Structure 1
Amino acid sequence: MSSSFVTRRLFLSGIAVGVAGSPLGKVEAKERISVVAHSPFIASGVAVSHEGVVFLGLPRFPGMEKTPSVARVNNRGEPVPFPGGRWNAWQKGQSGSQAFVMVNAIHLFRDNTLWVVDQGAPVGSQPEPGAQKLVQLDVKTGDIMQVLSFPAAIMPPGARFNDLRIHGDLIFVTDSGLGGVIVHNLSTGKTLRRLSGQKVMRNDGVHLHRGIGGRILADGKGKRPDTASDDIEVDASGTWLYFAVPAGPLKRIGVADLLDMTLTDDQLAQKVEIVAEIPSIGGTCMDTRGNIYLADAENSQITVLSPSGKRATLVQDHRMISPDALFIDRNRRLYIPCPQLQKLAFLNDGRNEVQAPFLVLSMPLPDSLDGIPLGAGVEG
């Protein structure tokens, strides 16, 4: 893809919004972006049902031990534990096989069910057997539809589920611990672990994970995060799987190659393509036209990257501190969780400076942006 960067912004009350076809100075910022949720717990993930119900993923970071982990948002913008009961009440020392322990991502797809990615252990701990899992829930009743956990051959010690996408019968999950992609076929039950530990799945030491203003993220002793394959997208045709570590670059590999068991992991690694250099990101989403939306943690903005390589800034807002896992609903609204992760002690020179409430912002997508046609979401 081209590295050209095309930006048009309307600066209103400290917010920059690119609105194709709108006259300068005529669009009120408050009409373009709104707060849809405010949480006392860090909210790093968001998903919206076909009926418009907003769900939040609430990871158990230090200081957030009492989080319910997954919540739906009530009409006051507040999180309510979902589905309720033991699933939202895990405490240290308890079994994690039937409760949410460390929710790293949530997502919702075409079938209108909610998927939760649970790493199974708080930061710095090892998950007990069965605690690291993928959970599917009915968005209306909260019923648990299925729980998927995998043996050590698929998730060896040190592996950590990160995020997932579904296309047809296939679930794709990144491993941000060791690096790799897990592919699970919902119809056959067959599961593959691909690109395990390959260099292309890990940070290269050149691209550094940064926060606002380009600050290199590290703890009080100067230790930088070592997150492997993290963000993940699959295009609408199911042809390409895109992925990145938080510091970039954005890469892709053919889905057919991932499924070709005549190819070794070493051979697969040779087929990985670099798509684009990107700033440090917290999350992504992809619309039906193949545009990838990047949650730019360095510049508190959302950047759109088109299939042709053209880039444009969609929105910039000072409240977007560590914007994370993005979501586009069926009505073409973009949802942006702002969990302030770069202010956590292990990313902020040993100082915990996060401040509640933790916001989820939302805005309608324009029809186009600097000549890039924008689409809808909820693929799968």
Structure 2
Amino acid sequence: MKRRSLLGAAVPMGVAAALARAAGRAHAAPAATEGTNRDHGFNSAGPFEVVARFDGPGPSGVAVTPGRRIFIGFPRHAINHTGATLAELRDDGLHAYPDAQWSLPSDRAPAQRLMSVHGMTTDTRGRLWCIDDGKLAGLPLAAGAAKVIGIDPATNTIFSNIVLRPGIVLPDSHMNDLRVDLTHGAAGTVYVTDSSFGMSPALVVIDIATGRQRRVLAQHHATQAERGFMAVVEGRPLVFDPPRHKPSFVWGGADGITLSPDSGTLYFCPLTSRRLYSIPTALLSDFSATEAQLAQAVRDEGEKGVADGLATDGQGRIYTTNFEHDAIFRRNVDGSFDTMVRDPRVLSPDGIFVDGSDVYCTLGQWNRLGGLNGGHDLRVPPYYLIRFPTDPPAAVDALHVK
């Protein structure tokens, strides 16, 4: 292109204004059209509805039983609130679950009350399972506080209470999420992610029938937070670089966890990572398998973005929350991805659960906690529980419908 053409194509603003004034006719620049000069990645995308708004504690875990009863976890590890830590969402609001004695603060022994319910799920029999991380903000982890709880919604009673023993739960443990596999073990096997409040993440495997439990892959890169990892949160580039810098965004090791539809494969991921990993449950549930055998069986499934919660639908598609993009993505069985939801309100999407053709997700604004923002709690209630379809109807272009 000749120099004259370049000058005609792009004239600096100061020069353009001077030329316009000299000609006696200054005009405003035309507005940018929808098709040009904007990043459409900032547009909202995907249909979703707000199922509930919460003005009290922030929500984390969510599970829906086959009878479409909705359960929400409100952990106390960040804010030691006095509300229910596990609640059922009904038409008239939240109800402590399974009852007030278990779910509200009390002087009962830590092993006999719910301290801080985080992740939750259902098994293939429709029973509710919760991981109680046991942690109350500002207090050390009490003996018996961290545990796995199984509740039968048909009777609203606890049928399983497996306290995590010392050595399985560490002083800096953060038992984050869980999945239950009824295809291995006499009564099934529970897999828990310990994302750790420090630098000691791992997977925890529990045999339901015997209560036998062990930590695995505690030194494997698949469970670790990546040093030097950078995330862009609400437009701010933030780097995970301890101990040089205090973390300024939600971080951790093994966090997201989900099972394949046949329970043959466990998928998991560190929070501070973009990788997705898997391991066969036949091996993971085998307490005779060595650490070396487990490490060798871990498969890197590729990138999935910055995901907190994971959930699988009946077709084997994995839904991944993403706190960088205020979005929820879906990893299809061929490894491709779809954007299911993207919206400025989707702040810190956390617990996620697939109920048939619907996906539920809690939005807790966790990146705005005071501990990550110089002591200033920047959260702005309400917090949301949202729902969207696994297969939304195709968009119709009214201009081209015949």
Matches of 1:117 and 1:63, distance apart in 2: 17
Aligned to 2:192: 173
Aligned to 2:216: 194
Counterpart of 1:126, as a letter, is P
Identify which range, 281-290 or 209-218, moves more after superposition: 209-218
1:42 matches 2:58? yes
Matches of 2:155 and 2:190, distance apart in 1: 23
Match of residue 310, structure 2, among 265, 284, 307: 284
Q: CA deviation at 1:68?
A: 0.7
Matches of 2:316 and 2:193, distance apart in 1: 20
Q: CA deviation at 1:171?
A: 1.2
Q: Secondary structure at the match of 1:163?
A: strand
Aligned to 1:351: 376
Counterpart of 1:88, as a letter, is S
Aligned to 1:216: 238
Q: Deviations over 1:345-366 (max 9, x none)?
A: 1223432111222110112221
Aligned to 1:231: 256
Q: Secondary structure at the match of 1:66?
A: coil
1:144 matches 2:166? no
Q: How does 1:1-380 map to 2 (within 5 A)?
A: 15-17=44-46, 32-39=47-54, 40-63=56-79, 65-76=81-92, 78-90=93-105, 95-123=109-137, 125-168=139-182, 169-177=188-196, 178-208=200-230, 210-213=232-235, 215-216=237-238, 222-224=245-247, 227-248=252-273, 249-260=275-286, 263-330=289-356, 332-366=357-391
Specify which structure has the bigger relative contact order, considering alpha-carbon pairs within 8 angstroms and separated by 6 or more residues. Answer: 1
Give the percent of matched residue pairs that are identical in Structure 1 and Structure 2.
Answer: 26
Structure 1 298/51 Cα, relative in aligned 2: closer, same or farther at 3 Å?
Answer: same
Contact between 2:251 and 2:272, CA under 8 Å: does it hold in 1?
A: no
Matches of 1:258 and 1:89, distance apart in 2: 35
Identify which range, 271-280 or 108-117, moves more after superposition: 271-280
Aligned length: 341
Using the size of structure 1 for normalisation, the TM-score is 0.81
Q: Secondary structure at the match of 1:86?
A: helix
Counterpart of 2:89, as a letter, is V
Aligned to 2:27: none
Matches of 2:320 and 2:177, distance apart in 1: 15
Aligned to 2:37: none
Counterpart of 1:115, as a letter, is W
Structure 1 307/340 Cα, relative in aligned 2: closer, same or farther at 3 Å?
Answer: same
Q: Which runs of 5+ in 2 are unaligned?
A: 1-39, 183-187, 396-402
Q: CA deviation at 1:105?
A: 1.2
Q: Which runs of 5+ in 1 are unaligned?
A: 1-10, 18-31, 371-380
Structure 1 108/262 Cα, relative in aligned 2: closer, same or farther at 3 Å?
Answer: closer
Q: CA deviation at 1:82?
A: 1.3
Structure 1 239/112 Cα, relative in aligned 2: closer, same or farther at 3 Å?
Answer: closer
Identify which range, 135-144 or 294-303, moves more after superposition: 135-144
Contact between 1:120 and 1:133, CA under 8 Å: does it hold in 2?
A: yes
Counterpart of 1:155, as a letter, is V
Contact between 1:338 and 1:358, CA under 8 Å: does it hold in 2?
A: yes
Matches of 2:239 and 2:386, distance apart in 1: 24
Q: Secondary structure at the match of 1:110?
A: coil
Q: Deviations over 1:52-84 (max 9, x none)?
A: 1111111115445112101111214x3221122
RMSD: 2.7
Matches of 2:79 and 2:285, distance apart in 1: 41
Identify which range, 127-136 or 230-239, moves more after superposition: 230-239
Identify which range, 140-149 or 266-275, moves more after superposition: 266-275
Judging by fraction of residues, say which structure has more helix. Answer: 2
Structure 1 134/188 Cα, relative in aligned 2: closer, same or farther at 3 Å?
Answer: closer
Contact between 1:46 and 1:55, CA under 8 Å: does it hold in 2?
A: yes
Q: CA deviation at 1:290?
A: 1.4
Using the size of structure 2 for normalisation, the TM-score is 0.77
Q: CA deviation at 1:210?
A: 4.7
Counterpart of 1:319, as a letter, is R
Matches of 2:279 and 2:334, distance apart in 1: 17
Contact between 1:324 and 1:337, CA under 8 Å: does it hold in 2?
A: yes
Q: Secondary structure at the match of 2:371?
A: helix
Counterpart of 1:149, as a letter, is V
Q: Deviations over 1:132-153 (max 9, x none)?
A: 1111112244211121113224
Q: Secondary structure at the match of 1:105?
A: strand
Q: CA deviation at 1:113?
A: 1.6
Counterpart of 1:67, as a letter, is G
Structure 1 212/180 Cα, relative in aligned 2: closer, same or farther at 3 Å?
Answer: same
